[in-house]
Amino acid sequence: MTKTLLNLAGTLVGAALMLPAQTLINGAGATFPAPMYTKWFSEYKKLHNDIQFNYQPLGSGAGIKQVTEGTVDFGASDALMTDAQISDFTAKQKTSILALPTVAGAVVPIYNVPGVTGTINFTGPMLADIFLGKITKWNDPAIMKANPSMKLPGNDIVVVHRAEASGTTFCFTDYLAKVSPDWKSKVGAPNAAPNWPTGLGAKGSDGVAGQVKQTANSIGYVELVFAEQNKIGYGAVQNKDGKYVTASLAGITAAAAGAVKTMPEDFRVSIVDSPGGATYPISTFTWLLVPQDIKDPAKKAALKGFLTWMLKDGQNMTEALSYAKLPKEVVAKEEKAIAKIK
Amino acid sequence: MSQLSARRRSVNAIMLTLTGVCTVVAVGLLFFILGYLLVEGGSSLNLDFFTKLPVAVGETGGGMANALLGSAKVLILATLIGVPIGFLAGIFLAEWATPGLAAAIRFVTDLLNGVPSIVIGIFAYTLIVLRTKQFSTWAGGVALGIMMIPIALRSTEEFLRAVPNSMREGAMALGATKSRTIFSVVVPAAIRGLISGMMLNLARVAGETAPLLFTALNNQFWSPGWNQPTATLPVQIFTFAISPYNDLHRQAWAAGFMLLFLVLLINITARSIVSRGGLKAR
Amino acid sequence: MASASTSVPEARVPSSPRASVSTRLFSGDGITLAVVFLAAATIIAITLLLVIELWINSAASREKFGFAFLATSVWDPANGEFGALPFIFGTVVTSALSLIIAVPFGLGAAIFLAELAPPKVSDTMTFLIELLAAVPSVIFGLIGIFVLLPALNTVVPFLKNHLGSMGLFSGPFYGPSILTAGVVLSVMIAPYIISVSREVLLAVPRDLREAALALGATRWETTWQVVVPYARTGIFGSVFLALARALGETMAVTMVIGNSPRIVASLLAPGYSIASVIANEFSEATGNLYTSALIELALVLFALTIVLNGAARLLISATTKRRKK
């Protein structure tokens, strides 16, 4: 028995090790850009068979934590790292953390209302009140007012939010805090893991999408591509200029373009609730969190190689998944930042 | 013979029937679960499932080849860790330990057995992943191995004790040392029970998900060697099940069916090798 | 009377010059004893290490909150406020609910298998029911999401109409909830109750049954008024065992409980269990306090399951030992 087991073990170990000498890089973080990143990494593997990037979408919070602990080589987050998190990273890893933007995307309010097939219009304060638990029924006067031609049932709204710390949540609460003083006072500043007043928690953007898809009368918030790929209805949101805009490449690009002039050196900027007639208000960049000092030369070369590729060829793949490209100025700035990785 | 009142007779009949109904429902649940998985996932158990890697989030197709290999690797490691420790300690308990010491060791082992699997996962994370700064297959193997120890110990002790003393005395009378006796006489006599226990143990950890979440993590690609994160079957089922993609649901059903089928197959084989009852040892 | 370990004196092989080194070496009891003792010691070391790690890594949270941790109901990682109450509530209520469903049902099946079914039928059916215990948790979760949730969606409005006034079934039903988790758990723990209760019922001496029947009791009356009370301790043991299993269940519960750290007095509301919050939030807990709060939760869960498991074994062995007298 032992002999058979050992033989089997040997074979499997051999099989597992027979791949060519590889550079293996592990990353974890946001679910927001997961469709894009997993696509990029599988394309990159086709181009460079000896370099393998394994990306696990665990949520922005997990991305920040694991790259801080050093258990992954890079993180990913759409939530801006807090000062406390940044100093925690510097203390643990003895180097600085670079937040490099990759794409811009949109957070859309998805819903599953029986009998409703069109696009529901949401104003900012309305969304805040729904997620605060103040608006509880789909035929609430506020919702009816923004959607005069729609027949909305009198069912209870089921709120679905993220169970774990999420960059998508950060972006969404950023928006809610900006448009609703009520939200700001009750729940507080933009936060990856706020104290939700109501609702169900689901794991990951795909978890929220899955939950909304399965639960009648529910509302949630996910990145645009999840709604599109799963044919889940999503609403139009009123932007700063008062127009109802559904998320689209044009809307996200407009939001991103507006941030170019104010983009700081460390790329930490919020493009939520940007002005402009065509701007989609709940847009955000998403960042790869890369340590500035990487000890392993193979990993360092691989990461720099990937990042350079991402800024050129990778950017041409974003629109197929409804993510907006980075503005040219940001790309230029980022190429300089990548050179800083030692 | 006294006359039973109609009321007592009907209560008797009703309650006894109800107990039968409970039993039938309990047995039926097993077949329901198995059947449902077969119907939902059976057709997706195609060649792709066994040979392809998962595709990028949102695309359709792909398979679970890396998860199958990953699970195999993790389980082999778990067995290599958990079974020897439990087996040898079981020999100690059955052949050498004084009653007090044996009771103490059994108590501690029961303590370990009662630890929820998620807590074992946290333990392996802080012990291995944080210190090696790496999510890895072997961290997952260690976590599952720790879970295998208590049952390996219990079943080894139980089956060794069941071997009659006359066999030991006979061997000793022929001049064998104690260790010779154990390994050449007692263990072979108990071998069926020991193998059966090992198989049940393996089947139990094969389906564990929680300890792997923070140790082996997951991987879209093949995981070479033992020091990288790897996809495993239960984690993949979990991830796919909570996603919104219908194609992933389909694959989750297929994987679920396969996992359940294997687990049940191992269980049935193990129990037919030796017929012993009870779940108390768990 | 045989003692716990074989008390045959260790025989010594007279060392013969012709016996090979390896034979002499490995037939030496010293080495074997050392190895097996080491194995046993390793187990103790691992368990001790586990407890120590849990204790040390929860220090920050324990020092900051003290026992108030168990009574606070706010879980706000962003502001550094952590309280275990919502999770203790969720864990306890889902487990209690699962027992309320599984115990009558399981005991009924155990009675049938121990008292009524012919031995072969009883053995086969018990075998099949024990296979149910081997089904992995994630598969129960899979069935929970795609089969139980839609089923409950049709059943709950009916329940609400008839029992809504009780308060337990008040409020809106979204699907994932304490009720759903409780039902899934009940299916998972039923095999333990059935299997162990059946064994303790079988351990009840025949004479008791025969005496009752001779006095004119019906089969049911004998079972319910004589056999079951006699085996009562063991049955409680099986309940504790099942409860310990329910408390630590992670995957199936996470998939259907709703992941909402709020205490609501309705079974239809979403909830959160200790194991679920650890599974969802552990990999992202930034900051020492957050991580140590989660580990303190793990410690609480660990303590609960230890106590229950210990009590269970005591009760079960008490009943089965009685028969041997």
Mean pLDDT of chain B: 89
pLDDT at res. C7: 52
Q: Give the tens place of pLDDT for each residue, A15-50.
A: 555 555 688 999 999 999 999 999 999 999 999 989
Q: Which residue of C has its CA nearest to B103?
A: C4
pTM, rounded to two decimals: 0.87
Q: Give the tens place of pLDDT for each residue, C26-71.
A: 556 788 889 999 999 999 999 999 999 999 999 999 898 888 899 8
CATH class of C84-324: mainly alpha
Q: Give the tens place of pLDDT for each residue, A193-223.
A: 888 988 999 988 888 998 999 888 999 999 9
pLDDT at A289 over 90: yes
pLDDT at C2 over 80: no
Give the end-to-end CA distance of chain C in Å, rounded to a whole number.
15
Q: Give the tens place of pLDDT for each residue, A102-133.
A: 999 999 999 999 988 889 999 999 999 999 99
Domain boundaries, chain B: 2-44, 50-278
Domain boundaries, chain A: 23-104+284-338, 106-262
Alpha-carbon distance B52 to nearest alpha carbon in chain C (angstroms): 22
pLDDT at B245 over 80: yes
By the CB < 8 Å criterion, does B58 face chain A?
A: yes
Verify whether the Cβ–Cβ distance A42 to B244 is below 8 Å. Answer: no
- Contact list in A for residue B73 (CB cut-off 8 A) is 12-13, 16
Provide ipTM, 2 decimals: 0.88
Q: What is the 3-state secondary structure (H, E, C) of chain B?
A: CCCCCHHHHHHHHHHHHHHHHHHHHHHHHHHHHHHHHHHHHHHHCCHHHHHCCECCCCCCCECCHHHHHHHHHHHHHHHHHHHHHHHHHHHHHHHCCCHHHHHHHHHHHHHHHCCCHHHHHHHHHHHHHHHHCCCCHHHHHHHHHHHHHHHHHHHHHHHHHCCCHHHHHHHHHCCCCHHHHHHHHHHHHHHHHHHHHHHHHHHHHHCCCHHHHCCCCCCCCCCCCCCCCCCCHHHHHHHHHCCCCHHHHHHHHHHHHHHHHHHHHHHHHHHHHCCCCCCCCC
Q: Give the tens place of pLDDT for each residue, C188-212.
A: 999 999 999 999 999 899 899 999 9
User: Phi and psi (nearest 5°) for C17?
Assistant: -60, -20
Q: Which residue of C has its CA nearest to B173?
A: C11
Quick one: pLDDT band at residue B1, thresholds 50, 70, 90? very low
pLDDT at res. B3: 63
Mean pLDDT of chain A: 89
- Contact list in C for residue B33 (CB cut-off 8 A) is 132, 135, 139, 143
pLDDT at res. C28: 67
Cα distances (Å, whole numbers) of residue C182 to B18, B207, C137, C234: 22, 21, 14, 24
Quick one: pLDDT band at residue B46, thresholds 50, 70, 90? confident
pLDDT at res. C16: 52
Mean pLDDT of chain C: 86
By the CB < 8 Å criterion, does B130 face chain C?
A: no
pLDDT at C165 over 80: no
Q: Give the tens place of pLDDT for each residue, A158-194.
A: 999 998 888 899 999 999 999 999 999 998 888 888 8
CATH architecture designation of domain A106-262: 3-Layer(aba) Sandwich (3.40)
Rounded mean pLDDT, C295-316: 87
C-alpha torsion sign, points A165, A167, A170, A172: negative
pLDDT at res. B209: 94
pLDDT at B82 over 50: yes
- Contact list in B for residue A39 (CB cut-off 8 A) is 56-59
Rounded mean pLDDT, B189-203: 91
Domain boundaries, chain C: 2-57, 84-324
Residue among B221, B225, B226 whose CB faces A54 most closely: B221
Verify whether the Cβ–Cβ distance C125 to B23 is below 8 Å. Answer: yes
CATH class of B50-278: mainly alpha
Rounded mean pLDDT, B54-58: 83
Quick one: pLDDT band at residue A259, thresholds 50, 70, 90? confident
Rounded mean pLDDT, C304-321: 80
Residue among A24, A34, A230 whose CB faces B228 most closely: A24
Whether A106-262 and A23-104+284-338 are alike in CATH topology: the answer is yes
> Encoding tokens for residue C325?
């007298």
Please tell me the CATH superfamily of domain A23-104+284-338, with its number: Periplasmic binding protein-like II (3.40.190.10)
pLDDT at res. C13: 52
